[in-house]
Amino acid sequence: DAKTTQPTSMDCAEGRAANLPCNHSTISGNEYVYWYRQIHSQGPQYIIHGLKNNETNEMASLIITEDRKSSTLILPHATLRDTAVYYCIVRFIEYGNKLVFGAGTILRVKS
Amino acid sequence: DTEVTQTPKHLVMGMTNKKSLKCEQHMGHRAMYWYKQKAKKPPELMFVYSYEKLSINESVPSRFSPECPNSSLLNLHLHALQPEDSALYLCASSLKRIFPGNEKLFFGSGTQLSVL
């Protein structure tokens, strides 16, 4: 029901960039893409969100394709503390703009 | 203060007990949320309060009773729970913009509930 598709898991070497893909082919013009992460036994942590343009903040960059059907979250220099489940979420208008979590991607950063 | 504080962090209760979970934020947010997360699953939305009024109930059983006494506080009252209700209960808040698609939710660290 989340209507976003992410790989189940990914590995990344410490210090390298982690690129996490997400497909959201049914997204429409006013629907935002959000990324959250959840470290074991903690609450989800907001990372970044965007509509059409690429976004960057102190944590990550969000690259959204021109057709908006997919996006990539980039952690520029992954550390062991970035090991977490990463959720790509579209706030679909048909779902009342609710923040609905899908299965997410388990990112393992390895030394 | 950019925190959502949940208490208690852990709770063990019997099926006949009555207990309450508490959530507090002082960010001036006017939307507050309860999510439930079973082990190894994503969080699932339970309730949404907007300006202290219940706006969304995701068909949650009546043994879960939410309450929003003021704009900073959110409670979840628990009664006659079942063992399958054991989960991490997460509270969140957001600013409540006119267009809700463009507002981020801030989550607390959750209450780990075990029902025996």
A38 Ramachandran zone, left/alpha/beta (phi>0; psi -120 to 50): beta
Determine the pLDDT at residue B102.
83
Q: Greater confidence, B16 or A37?
A: A37
* Nearest alpha-carbon partner for A101 in B48, B105, B43, B35: B43
Contacts of B48 in chain A (CB under 8 A): 98
Determine the pLDDT at residue B96.
76
Q: What does the DSSP 8-state code read for residue B101?
A: G
Instruction: Give the amino acid at B90.
Output: L
Q: Please report the sign of the dihedral spanned by the C-alpha atoms of residue A49, residue A68, residue A78, residue B109.
A: positive
B62 phi and psi, to 5 degrees? -70, -10
Determine the pLDDT at residue B1.
62
Determine the pLDDT at residue B115.
96
Contact criterion met (CB < 8 Å) for A42 and B109: yes
Question: Which residue of A99, A101, A105 is the best one to mutate when testing the B interface, meaning the one whose CB has the most B CBs within 10 A?
Answer: A99
Contacts of B88 in chain A (CB under 8 A): 41
Six-digit token string for B102: 């463009």
Other CB atoms within 10 A of residue A54 CB: 13
* B2: confidence class by pLDDT, cuts 50, 70, 90: low
| Contact predicate B112/B19, CB 8 Å | no
What is the pLDDT averaged over residues B62-70? 97
Determine the pLDDT at residue B98.
59
Residues 65-104 of A with CB under 8 A from B: 87, 91, 93, 96-104
Rounded Cα distance between B48 and A31, Å, is 20
Six-digit token string for A99: 């923040």
Write down the mean pLDDT value for chain B.
93
Q: Which helix (H) or strand (E) holds A23?
A: strand A18-23
DSSP B54-75: EEEE-S--TTEEEEEEETTEEE
Rounded Cα distance between B29 and B77, Å, is 21
What is the pLDDT averaged over residues B100-112? 91
Q: Any CB–CB contact under 8 A between A53 and chain B?
A: no
Percent of chain B predicted with pLDDT > 70: 96
Tens digits of pLDDT across chain A (111 residues): 558 999 999 999 999 999 999 999 999 888 999 999 999 889 999 999 999 989 999 999 999 999 999 999 999 999 999 999 999 999 888 778 888 899 999 999 999
Closest approach of B29 to chain A, Cα-based (Å) = 16
Other CB atoms within 10 A of residue B75 CB: 17
Closest CB from A30, A42, A103 relative to B42: A103
